[in-house]
Structure formats: structure tokens, C-alpha cells
Amino acid sequence: MNADTHALISQQYQTIEALRTQPMGGMDYCQKWVPTFYGVYPGESGFKSKCLAELSRVTGTQPDTIRATWGTNFEKTPSYAALLLRTTDLLNQVIVGIRLPPNFPN
């Protein structure tokens, strides 16, 4: 690995590490990823239910618990979930940005 490549990787790593510790609210996550994964956009019918399903899938939290405790627009996203959403956001960006070979992971 040459010095330029190493410097670029180091810079990218530092950027991701800094971002990884910043929480991401539930609605921010939904606005970014529900359209990508479900084809439903904010304001459209079904957006909130897809958002709830995605938040439940990512965090492992029951939809009823999210409804009851996270607030109408998920403004009370718990800190553990906000960090998990940020980590999943970063992973989603990698997944969307690469093409896996057909025989992945073999």
C-alpha cells in the first residue's frame, strides 16, 4: 500500500469513527432509509408503518414499545437505539455503495 492510499484510508477511518459516536434519531434514520428499502417516502401513505417496522427490525424493539415510548415522531429515541441506528446507517451506506459477488460470502 502506498502512502497516498494509506493516508486516504486513515482519513476515511477517522471520519467514520467520529460519525459513529453521533446518535441518529429514529425519524432521521427513517427519512433516509425507508424510501430506499421500501419505496415509500415521508408524507406518503404507509411511511409511518414502514418506519416503525424498520426501527423494530434494526433495534430489536417491539413496535408497541416504540409507539408507546419513542414519541410521535420518534423524538424520544433512546440513546442505545440512536447509536445503533447510526451504526446501521453507516453499514447501509457501505451495502448500498458496493456490489457483492453472487456467491457471497463464499
Mean pLDDT of the chain: 91
Per-residue pLDDT reduced to its tens digit, 48-99: 999 999 999 999 999 999 999 999 999 999 999 999 999 999 999 888 887 7
pLDDT of residue 18: 80
Rounded Cα distance between 15 and 102, Å, is 30
Nearest-CA neighbor of 81 among 99, 69, 72? Answer: 69
Band of pLDDT at residue 106, cut at 50, 70 and 90: low
Cell (9 digits) for 68:
408507546
pLDDT of residue 95: 85
22 Cβ contact partners less than 8 Å away, ≥ 6 residues apart:
86
Q: Which amino acid is at 49?
A: S
Rounded Cα distance between 36 and 44, Å, is 14
Domain locations along the chain: 24-97
